[in-house]
Amino acid sequence: MQECDLKKQYLKLFLYLIFFSSLRVFSQVGCTDPSANNYNSSAITNDGSCTYNVTTESVFTKGSIVANVTESSGLVFTDGMMWTHNDSGNPPNIYKVDTANGNLLQTVTITNFPNVDWEDITADSNYIYVGDFGNNNGTRTDLKILKISKTQLTSTATVITATAQAINFSYSDQTSFVSNSSTNFDCESVISIGTYLYLFTKGRGDFQTRVYKLSKIPGTYTLSPYTSYNINGKITGADYNKLTNEVVLIGYMASNKNSFLWFLNGFTSDMFFSGNKRRIEIGNSTNDWQTEGITYAQNGSNELFLSCETSYTPATLYNTFKTNITSVGIKENQKQTYNITIYPNPSSGIIEIESDEIITELKIITSFGKCIYSNTYNQKHITLNSLDFSETKGYFIIKVKVSAQYIYRKLFLTE
């Protein structure tokens, strides 16, 4: 009997140890971004809790967009080319423009759909998508996204025609269609990820954006919001950077002023607000820009193009650079399958990387996403002593590939 009780006590103790060990593992969550105010160096999993100081970025004028685009409402950079379009009441055209100065390269007329209120444009490998979902007063019952095959856009002629397929949709949570200038069912932003399109509403009424997920297969759909966030502003454009798994949103406050960007990264799956959420101010109370379009210059780039429409004839093309934020929510220890050691850390510039398995690839990335070193290897020990660390002070991201798995480490620099 005593032996039985003793076994029960040992089993109970064993279960307690397992329980508290699991608590310790699961407790290693927190802010994984070293540039945040509340960075947790022991955190493995990003829980979206990072907070940041107010940050501003400079915006630079590239030039006027083509004269017949007075209301550039969306931008997309795809296949080395940038496309834009006007919004409501204009011809059903998309325009290929020069990123250096905004000059017109090609006009494509969509022959089978009018421009009711085109508000944003996105793309994947095979199609361009135009969002005809502007809904200023919440009265529309004909919301759609136009799907345009890129096979129609191979001509070098300056003016061509194309047709589109319609992806029709409605909002399940919209029960009233009475005209209301504070509607929450206006949408001006769409991004493409995989087999889905994601819509971010403008949030005219409560300054919150709601996210809807829409199939790319033409048809008719009823959508329900699956996540939302108090963005504190009106969202008017969006883009997705697939190499850094980052979403950027653009918008403005009341009276089209105080323009801003939101960078979303380190999120899980398509829960865009589950990771880092950082707001960057690009305008003030005197800038009546009505910022509308935004796109990354290319995947992996820290350069963005943006466009505006208010009081500009034609609209204006700008660019800006991410200089204050990282593109990823760093997970230093991921699966902990391999032992990666980097020393000295902090470092003055010379570093040693050691692994218990063969390293096949090594990259060094600045805190704002620029790769300054990339090489392939077939060894366990690497010495680097001639790197240029002048890009930034503070930290870099070391990305090591071992047995098809990427391991991340932070390298801090001495002054």
**Token representation of residue 204:** 């005219």
The CATH 2.115.10.20 portion of the chain extends over: 55-321
Which residue would you say has higher pLDDT here, 342 or 281? 281
pLDDT at 7 over 90: no
- 110-161 pLDDT per residue, tens: 999 999 999 999 999 999 999 999 999 999 999 999 999 999 999 999 999 9
pLDDT tens string 28-68: 788 878 778 898 877 767 788 999 988 888 899 988 887 78
CA atoms of 326 and 398, how far apart (whole Å): 13
pLDDT of amino acid 150:
98
Model confidence at 26, in pLDDT bands (50, 70, 90)? very low
**Residue 20: which pLDDT band, with cuts at 50, 70 and 90?**
very low
Residues pairing with 271 in the sheet: 268
Does residue 326 carry a pLDDT above 70? Answer: no
The model's pLDDT over 88-98, given as tens digits with 9 standing for 90+, comes to 989 999 999 99
Domain(s) of CATH 2.60.40.1930: residues in the chain: 332-415
* Three-state DSSP class for residue 14: helix
CA distance 331 to 186: 36
Look at residue 363 in the predicted model and tell me its pLDDT. 86
How many other C-beta atoms can be found within 10 angstroms of the C-beta atom of residue 150?
Answer: 15
Gap between the terminal Cα atoms of the chain: 67
CATH number of 55-321: 2.115.10.20
> pLDDT digit string (tens) for 372-395?
888 999 999 999 887 766 655 556
CATH topology of domain 332-415: Immunoglobulin-like (2.60.40)
